[in-house]
A = this chain, B = another copy of it.
Amino acid sequence: MGVQEDVQKPLDRLSEALAAEMEAVNALIRARMASRHAPRIPEVTAHLVEAGGKRLRPMLTLAAARLAGYDGPYHVHLAATVEFIHTATLLHDDVVDESRQRRGRPTANLLWDNKSSVLVGDYLFARSFQLMVEPGNMRTLEILANASATIAEGEVLQLTAAQDLRTDEDVYLQVIRGKTAALFSAATEVGGVIAGAPEAQVQALHDYGDALGIAFQIVDDLLDYGGATQTIGKNVGDDFRERKLTLPVIKAVALADADERAFWVRTIEKGDQREGDLEHALQLLARHGAMQAAREDALDWAARARDALTPLPDHPIRDMLSDLADFVVSRVA
Protein backbone atom coordinates (compact mmCIF):
# COMPACT_ATOMS: atom_id res chain seq x y z
CA MET A 1 0.00 0.00 0.00
CA GLY A 2 3.03 2.23 -0.16
CA VAL A 3 2.59 3.13 3.49
CA GLN A 4 5.74 4.34 5.23
CA GLU A 5 5.76 3.05 8.76
CA ASP A 6 8.15 5.42 10.42
CA VAL A 7 5.80 6.03 13.33
CA GLN A 8 8.23 6.30 16.24
CA LYS A 9 7.88 7.45 19.81
CA PRO A 10 4.35 6.40 20.88
CA LEU A 11 4.76 3.14 18.98
CA ASP A 12 8.03 2.52 20.83
CA ARG A 13 6.24 3.06 24.13
CA LEU A 14 3.51 0.64 23.06
CA SER A 15 6.20 -1.86 22.02
CA GLU A 16 7.74 -1.62 25.44
CA ALA A 17 4.45 -1.98 27.29
CA LEU A 18 3.48 -4.99 25.17
CA ALA A 19 6.94 -6.51 24.68
CA ALA A 20 6.22 -10.01 26.03
CA GLU A 21 3.06 -10.42 23.99
CA MET A 22 4.70 -9.00 20.88
CA GLU A 23 7.44 -11.59 21.28
CA ALA A 24 4.76 -14.28 21.36
CA VAL A 25 3.23 -12.80 18.18
CA ASN A 26 6.61 -12.85 16.44
CA ALA A 27 7.21 -16.45 17.49
CA LEU A 28 3.79 -17.45 16.19
CA ILE A 29 4.41 -15.65 12.89
CA ARG A 30 7.73 -17.45 12.45
CA ALA A 31 6.14 -20.81 13.27
CA ARG A 32 3.24 -20.33 10.88
CA MET A 33 5.15 -18.96 7.92
CA ALA A 34 6.96 -22.30 7.72
CA SER A 35 6.01 -24.86 5.10
CA ARG A 36 6.86 -28.54 5.29
CA HIS A 37 6.78 -29.00 1.56
CA ALA A 38 7.60 -25.73 -0.16
CA PRO A 39 10.80 -23.98 1.02
CA ARG A 40 10.09 -21.06 -1.32
CA ILE A 41 7.34 -19.98 1.08
CA PRO A 42 9.46 -19.19 4.18
CA GLU A 43 12.16 -17.67 1.95
CA VAL A 44 9.80 -15.13 0.42
CA THR A 45 7.94 -14.48 3.66
CA ALA A 46 11.09 -14.03 5.74
CA HIS A 47 12.38 -11.48 3.25
CA LEU A 48 9.33 -9.34 3.94
CA VAL A 49 8.53 -10.19 7.57
CA GLU A 50 12.10 -9.71 8.72
CA ALA A 51 12.68 -6.51 6.77
CA GLY A 52 11.71 -4.69 9.92
CA GLY A 53 8.17 -3.46 9.56
CA LYS A 54 7.02 -1.78 12.73
CA ARG A 55 4.26 -4.32 13.41
CA LEU A 56 1.88 -1.42 13.89
CA ARG A 57 -1.27 -3.43 13.13
CA PRO A 58 -0.68 -6.43 15.44
CA MET A 59 0.37 -3.93 18.12
CA LEU A 60 -3.05 -2.31 17.81
CA THR A 61 -4.72 -5.66 18.51
CA LEU A 62 -2.54 -6.30 21.55
CA ALA A 63 -3.11 -2.77 22.83
CA ALA A 64 -6.89 -2.99 22.39
CA ALA A 65 -7.06 -6.35 24.18
CA ARG A 66 -4.95 -5.06 27.07
CA LEU A 67 -6.98 -1.87 27.33
CA ALA A 68 -10.17 -3.94 27.46
CA GLY A 69 -8.72 -6.05 30.28
CA TYR A 70 -8.12 -9.31 28.39
CA ASP A 71 -5.97 -11.90 30.12
CA GLY A 72 -6.38 -14.92 27.80
CA PRO A 73 -3.96 -16.15 25.12
CA TYR A 74 -5.88 -15.52 21.89
CA HIS A 75 -5.10 -11.86 21.23
CA VAL A 76 -1.72 -13.23 20.10
CA HIS A 77 -3.40 -15.34 17.39
CA LEU A 78 -5.54 -12.42 16.30
CA ALA A 79 -2.53 -10.09 16.16
CA ALA A 80 -0.57 -12.62 14.06
CA THR A 81 -3.62 -13.00 11.80
CA VAL A 82 -3.68 -9.26 11.20
CA GLU A 83 0.03 -9.19 10.34
CA PHE A 84 -0.36 -12.15 7.94
CA ILE A 85 -3.23 -10.43 6.14
CA HIS A 86 -1.09 -7.28 5.92
CA THR A 87 1.93 -9.19 4.59
CA ALA A 88 -0.14 -11.07 2.01
CA THR A 89 -1.58 -7.75 0.85
CA LEU A 90 1.90 -6.23 0.49
CA LEU A 91 3.08 -9.15 -1.67
CA HIS A 92 0.10 -8.77 -3.99
CA ASP A 93 0.29 -4.96 -4.00
CA ASP A 94 3.88 -5.06 -5.17
CA VAL A 95 2.85 -7.30 -8.07
CA VAL A 96 -0.06 -5.03 -8.96
CA ASP A 97 2.02 -1.84 -8.67
CA GLU A 98 5.08 -3.44 -10.28
CA SER A 99 7.06 -2.13 -7.33
CA ARG A 100 10.79 -2.62 -7.11
CA GLN A 101 11.43 -1.46 -3.54
CA ARG A 102 9.68 -2.02 -0.22
CA ARG A 103 11.08 -0.93 3.15
CA GLY A 104 14.34 -0.01 1.42
CA ARG A 105 14.90 -3.48 -0.01
CA PRO A 106 14.17 -5.05 -3.40
CA THR A 107 10.62 -6.45 -3.53
CA ALA A 108 9.89 -10.19 -3.59
CA ASN A 109 8.47 -9.91 -7.11
CA LEU A 110 11.85 -8.55 -8.18
CA LEU A 111 14.03 -11.02 -6.19
CA TRP A 112 11.95 -14.06 -7.12
CA ASP A 113 9.09 -13.45 -9.55
CA ASN A 114 5.44 -12.38 -9.73
CA LYS A 115 4.32 -16.00 -9.57
CA SER A 116 6.00 -16.54 -6.21
CA SER A 117 4.55 -13.32 -4.83
CA VAL A 118 1.02 -14.23 -5.94
CA LEU A 119 1.12 -17.79 -4.62
CA VAL A 120 3.02 -17.08 -1.38
CA GLY A 121 0.56 -14.24 -0.76
CA ASP A 122 -2.27 -16.75 -1.20
CA TYR A 123 -0.55 -19.07 1.26
CA LEU A 124 -0.30 -16.29 3.86
CA PHE A 125 -3.98 -15.40 3.36
CA ALA A 126 -4.88 -19.05 3.95
CA ARG A 127 -2.58 -19.19 6.98
CA SER A 128 -4.27 -16.07 8.36
CA PHE A 129 -7.61 -17.83 8.11
CA GLN A 130 -6.28 -20.89 9.89
CA LEU A 131 -4.99 -18.61 12.65
CA MET A 132 -8.21 -16.66 13.03
CA VAL A 133 -10.19 -19.89 13.41
CA GLU A 134 -8.13 -21.02 16.41
CA PRO A 135 -9.58 -18.76 19.11
CA GLY A 136 -12.94 -20.38 18.38
CA ASN A 137 -14.68 -16.99 18.49
CA MET A 138 -17.29 -16.50 15.76
CA ARG A 139 -17.44 -12.75 16.06
CA THR A 140 -13.70 -12.13 15.62
CA LEU A 141 -13.88 -14.49 12.64
CA GLU A 142 -16.65 -12.45 11.06
CA ILE A 143 -14.82 -9.18 11.66
CA LEU A 144 -11.58 -10.43 10.12
CA ALA A 145 -13.25 -12.20 7.19
CA ASN A 146 -15.24 -9.03 6.46
CA ALA A 147 -12.08 -6.93 6.69
CA SER A 148 -10.35 -9.19 4.16
CA ALA A 149 -13.21 -8.73 1.70
CA THR A 150 -13.25 -4.96 2.26
CA ILE A 151 -9.49 -4.75 1.67
CA ALA A 152 -9.71 -6.64 -1.61
CA GLU A 153 -12.71 -4.58 -2.69
CA GLY A 154 -10.82 -1.35 -1.91
CA GLU A 155 -7.85 -2.53 -3.97
CA VAL A 156 -10.05 -3.37 -6.97
CA LEU A 157 -11.88 -0.07 -6.64
CA GLN A 158 -8.52 1.73 -6.63
CA LEU A 159 -7.59 -0.07 -9.82
CA THR A 160 -10.48 1.49 -11.71
CA ALA A 161 -10.86 4.77 -9.78
CA ALA A 162 -7.22 5.80 -9.50
CA GLN A 163 -6.84 7.03 -13.08
CA ASP A 164 -10.33 8.42 -13.44
CA LEU A 165 -10.57 12.18 -12.88
CA ARG A 166 -14.23 11.80 -11.90
CA THR A 167 -13.02 10.15 -8.69
CA ASP A 168 -14.09 12.46 -5.88
CA GLU A 169 -13.30 12.63 -2.18
CA ASP A 170 -16.09 10.16 -1.33
CA VAL A 171 -14.65 7.50 -3.62
CA TYR A 172 -11.15 8.26 -2.29
CA LEU A 173 -12.43 7.69 1.24
CA GLN A 174 -13.96 4.38 0.16
CA VAL A 175 -10.67 3.30 -1.39
CA ILE A 176 -8.52 4.12 1.64
CA ARG A 177 -11.12 2.77 4.08
CA GLY A 178 -10.74 -0.46 2.13
CA LYS A 179 -7.07 -0.67 1.46
CA THR A 180 -5.87 0.71 4.81
CA ALA A 181 -8.47 1.57 7.46
CA ALA A 182 -10.40 -1.73 7.28
CA LEU A 183 -7.46 -3.65 8.70
CA PHE A 184 -6.70 -0.99 11.33
CA SER A 185 -10.30 -1.01 12.59
CA ALA A 186 -10.52 -4.82 12.49
CA ALA A 187 -7.22 -4.99 14.41
CA THR A 188 -8.50 -2.82 17.26
CA GLU A 189 -12.05 -4.19 17.22
CA VAL A 190 -11.07 -7.86 17.57
CA GLY A 191 -8.89 -6.94 20.55
CA GLY A 192 -11.99 -5.59 22.29
CA VAL A 193 -14.22 -8.47 21.21
CA ILE A 194 -11.85 -11.21 22.40
CA ALA A 195 -11.68 -9.39 25.75
CA GLY A 196 -15.45 -9.46 26.01
CA ALA A 197 -15.54 -5.66 26.29
CA PRO A 198 -18.91 -3.87 26.50
CA GLU A 199 -20.46 -2.96 23.13
CA ALA A 200 -19.69 0.77 23.53
CA GLN A 201 -16.01 0.01 24.02
CA VAL A 202 -15.89 -2.37 21.06
CA GLN A 203 -17.46 0.35 18.91
CA ALA A 204 -14.98 2.90 20.30
CA LEU A 205 -12.04 0.64 19.40
CA HIS A 206 -13.43 0.12 15.91
CA ASP A 207 -13.93 3.86 15.39
CA TYR A 208 -10.44 4.63 16.69
CA GLY A 209 -8.86 2.15 14.24
CA ASP A 210 -10.96 3.45 11.36
CA ALA A 211 -10.05 7.10 11.95
CA LEU A 212 -6.39 6.27 12.65
CA GLY A 213 -6.15 4.27 9.42
CA ILE A 214 -7.69 7.05 7.38
CA ALA A 215 -5.36 9.66 8.91
CA PHE A 216 -2.43 7.32 8.32
CA GLN A 217 -3.21 6.87 4.63
CA ILE A 218 -3.92 10.55 3.95
CA VAL A 219 -0.53 11.37 5.52
CA ASP A 220 1.12 8.73 3.40
CA ASP A 221 -0.47 10.17 0.28
CA LEU A 222 0.63 13.67 1.31
CA LEU A 223 4.21 12.53 1.89
CA ASP A 224 4.23 11.12 -1.60
CA TYR A 225 4.04 14.73 -2.77
CA GLY A 226 6.69 15.84 -0.27
CA GLY A 227 4.34 16.53 2.66
CA ALA A 228 3.15 19.96 3.69
CA THR A 229 6.62 21.41 3.11
CA GLN A 230 6.78 19.94 -0.39
CA THR A 231 10.45 19.08 -0.09
CA ILE A 232 11.24 16.82 -3.01
CA GLY A 233 12.80 13.77 -1.37
CA LYS A 234 13.92 10.61 -3.06
CA ASN A 235 10.47 9.00 -3.04
CA VAL A 236 8.40 11.99 -4.01
CA GLY A 237 6.12 11.56 -6.98
CA ASP A 238 5.64 7.78 -7.02
CA ASP A 239 1.85 8.13 -6.99
CA PHE A 240 2.04 10.76 -9.74
CA ARG A 241 4.22 8.53 -11.92
CA GLU A 242 1.93 5.56 -11.22
CA ARG A 243 -1.06 7.79 -12.09
CA LYS A 244 -2.66 7.13 -8.73
CA LEU A 245 -5.26 9.77 -7.95
CA THR A 246 -4.92 10.67 -4.25
CA LEU A 247 -6.45 13.34 -2.04
CA PRO A 248 -4.16 16.30 -2.86
CA VAL A 249 -4.69 15.84 -6.60
CA ILE A 250 -8.44 15.25 -6.17
CA LYS A 251 -8.64 18.59 -4.35
CA ALA A 252 -6.58 20.35 -7.03
CA VAL A 253 -8.63 18.82 -9.86
CA ALA A 254 -11.86 20.05 -8.22
CA LEU A 255 -10.51 23.63 -8.41
CA ALA A 256 -8.77 23.33 -11.77
CA ASP A 257 -9.34 25.75 -14.65
CA ALA A 258 -9.49 24.43 -18.22
CA ASP A 259 -5.70 24.43 -18.78
CA GLU A 260 -5.02 22.76 -15.48
CA ARG A 261 -7.67 20.16 -16.14
CA ALA A 262 -6.06 19.39 -19.49
CA PHE A 263 -2.77 18.88 -17.65
CA TRP A 264 -4.34 16.35 -15.25
CA VAL A 265 -6.14 14.57 -18.09
CA ARG A 266 -2.87 14.21 -19.98
CA THR A 267 -0.69 13.15 -17.04
CA ILE A 268 -3.06 11.05 -14.92
CA GLU A 269 -5.83 9.80 -17.22
CA LYS A 270 -3.74 9.35 -20.35
CA GLY A 271 -0.43 8.73 -18.60
CA ASP A 272 1.47 10.93 -21.05
CA GLN A 273 4.09 12.35 -18.65
CA ARG A 274 7.02 14.54 -19.62
CA GLU A 275 10.04 16.18 -18.04
CA GLY A 276 8.95 18.83 -15.54
CA ASP A 277 5.41 17.50 -15.12
CA LEU A 278 5.90 16.52 -11.47
CA GLU A 279 7.17 20.01 -10.68
CA HIS A 280 4.17 21.51 -12.46
CA ALA A 281 1.83 19.19 -10.53
CA LEU A 282 3.39 20.39 -7.28
CA GLN A 283 2.84 24.03 -8.35
CA LEU A 284 -0.83 23.32 -9.05
CA LEU A 285 -1.22 21.63 -5.67
CA ALA A 286 0.32 24.71 -4.02
CA ARG A 287 -1.75 27.17 -6.07
CA HIS A 288 -5.00 25.65 -4.81
CA GLY A 289 -3.84 25.00 -1.26
CA ALA A 290 -4.49 21.31 -1.90
CA MET A 291 -1.68 20.09 0.35
CA GLN A 292 -2.81 22.26 3.24
CA ALA A 293 -6.42 21.19 2.79
CA ALA A 294 -5.49 17.51 2.74
CA ARG A 295 -3.28 18.06 5.78
CA GLU A 296 -6.23 19.56 7.63
CA ASP A 297 -8.31 16.50 6.74
CA ALA A 298 -5.60 14.28 8.20
CA LEU A 299 -5.50 16.34 11.40
CA ASP A 300 -9.27 16.12 11.60
CA TRP A 301 -9.21 12.33 11.32
CA ALA A 302 -6.49 12.16 13.99
CA ALA A 303 -8.70 14.24 16.27
CA ARG A 304 -11.61 11.88 15.57
CA ALA A 305 -9.37 8.94 16.49
CA ARG A 306 -8.47 10.58 19.80
CA ASP A 307 -12.09 11.46 20.53
CA ALA A 308 -13.18 7.90 19.79
CA LEU A 309 -11.12 6.72 22.76
CA THR A 310 -13.35 8.52 25.31
CA PRO A 311 -15.56 5.54 26.27
CA LEU A 312 -12.49 3.41 27.01
CA PRO A 313 -11.01 2.96 30.52
CA ASP A 314 -8.48 5.48 31.79
CA HIS A 315 -5.25 3.54 31.28
CA PRO A 316 -1.65 4.23 30.15
CA ILE A 317 -2.35 2.26 26.94
CA ARG A 318 -5.23 4.60 26.14
CA ASP A 319 -2.86 7.57 26.43
CA MET A 320 -0.36 5.88 24.14
CA LEU A 321 -3.07 5.24 21.55
CA SER A 322 -4.11 8.87 21.81
CA ASP A 323 -0.49 9.98 21.32
CA LEU A 324 -0.17 7.57 18.42
CA ALA A 325 -2.95 9.42 16.60
CA ASP A 326 -1.06 12.69 17.06
CA PHE A 327 2.18 11.09 16.03
CA VAL A 328 0.79 9.66 12.80
CA VAL A 329 -0.07 13.15 11.60
CA SER A 330 3.04 14.78 13.09
CA ARG A 331 4.85 13.71 9.93
CA VAL A 332 2.94 16.43 8.09
CA ALA A 333 2.25 18.80 10.99
Contacts and interface: CB of A to CB of B under 8 A. Distances in A.
Most buried by B among A39, A115, A120, A156: A156
Contacts of A40: 156-157, 159-160
Contact of A122 (B125, B130, B157): B125
B92 A156 contact: no
Contacts of A154: 37
Interface stretch (A55-63, A72-80, A144-152, A285-293): A144-152
Contacts of A37: 153-154, 157, 174, 178
Nearest to A151: B126
A122 B119 CA distance: 11
Q: For chain A, what secondary structure do more than half of its interface residues adopt (helix, strand, loop), or is it mixed?
A: helix
A48 B19 CA distance: 47
B92 A160 contact: no
A127 B114 CA distance: 23
Interface stretch (A23-31, A134-142, A296-304): A134-142
Contacts of A142: 130, 133
A129 B152 contact: no
Contacts of A224: none
Given A92-B119, A92-B122, A119-B96, A156 B114 contact: no
Nearest to A149: B126
Interface residues of A, number: 43
Nearest to A97: B115
A302 to B, nearest CB: 25
A310 interface: no
Number of this chain's copies in the assembly equals 2
B114 A157 contact: no
B174 A122 contact: no
A116 interface: yes
A155 interface: yes
A101 interface: no
A41 B116 contact: no
A177 to B, nearest CB: 10
Contacts of A115: 95-96, 159
A38 interface: yes
A118 interface: yes
Given A95-B114, A133-B138, A38 B149 contact: no
Nearest to A120: B156
Interface in A101-129: 114-116, 118-123, 125-127, 129
Contacts of A116: 156, 159
Contact of A148 (B41, B95, B129, B174): B129
Given A119-B156, A122-B151, A122-B152, 5 more contacts: A38-B156, A96-B118, A120-B152, A125-B152, A129-B145
Instruction: Please name the 4 residue pairs, one residue from A and one from B, whose CB atoms are nearest each other, closest first.
Output: A126-B148, A123-B152, A126-B149, A38-B156
